[in-house]
Structure 1
Amino acid sequence: MERAEIERLAGGPLRLAYEDIVNHPRLAEARKVFLDRFLALYSGDPYTVRLLIESGRFLVYHIAGVLDAGVDPARRETWLTIKRLKQEMSLFGLASDRHIDGLIARLCSAGFMDLEPAEQDRRMRILKPTEKLKAHDRDWLAAHVAPLAVLYPEHDYRAIMHHDPQFHALYRRISIGVLPLAASLLLSLPDTLLFFNHAAGAVVQAELLRTAMMMSAYPDAAVPYADVGRRFGVSPTHVRQLLIAAEAADLVRLHTRGGRHVQILPRQWASYDRGMAVGMYLHDLVYVATERALQPADARRPTTVE
């Protein structure tokens, strides 16, 4: 997207630039906060990890929540149908129609979504995220905004950090316009996608990096495959194959069997920080747009990126 189009989505000039985030001197501190919050969200809950932590699974849940926030019962084109969900999913190109159908069925059976006839037209079936999904999304969003609060304490992120449901609903409604930008930025991060495209890949990666940051042998880590698999509900073989793929991409070096000595290479740290900075850039953009949307027109004070 051109900058003018991004500023239109933000409701005015941008507050943060991606380059400033990724080059921030406290980025490693923000990374530690994010890893702690992200892993706390899923630790001890392998079922949710298996259900949501993989690109196609996550995007079904995430995009459904975003689109639901923009539903206007009087406007049929805004209804959250399976067809519309698949259209938005196609921006990311990470799941087939058949795969999406299966994921929707699993989310419904797990109580994260309902599929019901539309009140205005009983011939059409509408997806509806449940309060269980919305509560999880508020927790997820707070974890992803937490590193912004570390880097920019002068900015007020309390509405998301305190799980304000009204602010969250408007934030997600505004997020609809940002989906194409989010898709293009995500697809520009091949190292992130290597983990994201595997079941539990994102939490395995997070555990690997947090362990390395906490160990005296930093930047190396010990992540026994069996322990990690048990924690996140995947097999030791799955964890091993994921890290073998990461080694082939020059992200790690595996020095002993079983994951007991994993060397984190510079490319992994740099690519993870780039992906995290992309997320922070998008979250701040939508946060500012939400704040502006809540302000009276004559009270809006644009802030600019020099």
Structure 2
Amino acid sequence: MSSLIDGLATLYGEDRRLIRELSEYKRAVTFMLAICIAAGEREEDPETWLTVARLVELAAIMAIGPDRRVRRYVEEMRADGHLVETPMAEDRRRHRLRPTEAMLAIDREWVSVFHAPLALLMPEERRLQEAIARDPGYHRGYRRASLRTLGMARKTMVMHPPVDSFLYQAGGARILATLLQSARDAPDGWTEPGFYSLAAERSATTRVHVRGMLRGAEASGYVEIGPATRVRATPLLIEDFRTWTADSLATTDLVSLLAQEP
């Protein structure tokens, strides 16, 4: 669990835009779905190509909508240089999307973080070492196989409301990881004073945003807030993160094995 916490706490380095946006469930999953679709394309079958319509269709499976939200995410990814758009030869009113190398590199970092705990448990598995090394061939196969397990990925989120409550908010994954990391070695489980400011800096958000998120989590019984903005995760949140981690890693390993199939 510590390996994944540390990976999530540093994912995307110091890139504030990526931290803020891709630490939030809907944007992050739409980003990854675009890569999954592109990895599974068959040139002879236009129905498999990455288009806005195809992305909208699969996003709905992951409870992401409405359509206009997904289309807005696509426009943001285009503006950021992560997706390029070209007209289709047979109908220039329709456009095909392609992920750029910059977008693929960002996703390979995510894949590496979620494979790292598995590699600690199974260091002899070459596939896991390839994931950590951000091998493009492994990454392509992994994302192609990911399309087969979308239902399982969605179920993981539905089963974990405490973790989910963080992941659905801007910078949420970073804030949660920072909380668990900051208090990990404290005997009483409390962070140092001034956690709002630390979490805002690490998550590329604001102190007001962090305060609002944590007050909501406190009302739900997921954290305690003490004097000097010290924060402590409750047993409910800690246990849910443990099971979420186990479910996430089990899915990651399954997809990794599927990716090895011819």
Classify the TM-score, shorter chain: over 0.9
Secondary structure of the 1:42 match is: coil
Alignment of 1:1-306 (within 5 A): 31-156=1-126, 157-214=128-185, 216-222=186-192, 224-257=195-228, 259=229, 261-293=230-262
Q: Deviations over 1:103-130 (max 9, x none)?
A: 1111111111112212454331112111
Which portions of structure 1, spanning 4 or more consecutive aligned residues, are displaced by more than 6 angstroms? none
Secondary structure of the 1:211 match is: helix
Q: Deviations over 1:200-222 (max 9, x none)?
A: 011100000011113x3442213
Contact 1:117 1:125 in 2 (8 A): yes
**Whose RCO is larger (CA < 8 A, sep 6+)?**
1
Contact 1:51 1:107 in 2 (8 A): no
Q: Which of the two has higher C-alpha Rg?
A: 1
Contact 1:43 1:232 in 2 (8 A): no
* Cα distance, 1:39 vs structure 2: 2.1
Kindly tell me: are residues 119 and 186 of structure 1, through their superposed partners in 2, closer, same or farther at Cα, counting changes over 3 Å? Answer: farther
**If the length of structure 2 is used for normalisation, what is the TM-score?**
0.93
Contact 2:223 2:232 in 1 (8 A): yes
Q: Deviations over 1:68-124 (max 9, x none)?
A: 101112101101111110111111213322221211111111111112212454331
In the alignment, the residues of structure 1 paired with residue 237 and residue 146 of structure 2 have an alpha-carbon distance, to the nearest angstrom, of 29
In the alignment, the residues of structure 2 paired with residue 256 and residue 46 of structure 1 have an alpha-carbon distance, to the nearest angstrom, of 29
In the alignment, the residues of structure 2 paired with residue 138 and residue 43 of structure 1 have an alpha-carbon distance, to the nearest angstrom, of 13
Contact 1:34 1:144 in 2 (8 A): yes
In the alignment, the residues of structure 1 paired with residue 217 and residue 203 of structure 2 have an alpha-carbon distance, to the nearest angstrom, of 18
Query: Which ranges in structure 1 are unaligned for 5 or more consecutive residues?
Result: 1-30, 294-306
Segment drifting more, 243-252 vs 119-128: 119-128
Aligned AA for 1:188? M
Secondary structure of the 1:221 match is: coil
**If the length of structure 1 is used for normalisation, what is the TM-score?**
0.80
Aligned AA for 1:272? F
Segment drifting more, 69-78 vs 181-190: 181-190
Query: Which ranges in structure 2 are unaligned for 5 or more consecutive residues?
Result: none
Partner of 1:23: none
Segment drifting more, 121-130 vs 219-228: 219-228
* Cα distance, 1:57 vs structure 2: 0.7
Percent identity at matched positions?
Answer: 28
Contact 1:55 1:94 in 2 (8 A): no
Q: How many residues are matched?
A: 260
Secondary structure of the 2:8 match is: helix
* Cα distance, 1:226 vs structure 2: 2.3
Contact 1:66 1:172 in 2 (8 A): yes
In the alignment, the residues of structure 2 paired with residue 102 and residue 52 of structure 1 have an alpha-carbon distance, to the nearest angstrom, of 15
In the alignment, the residues of structure 2 paired with residue 49 and residue 119 of structure 1 have an alpha-carbon distance, to the nearest angstrom, of 37
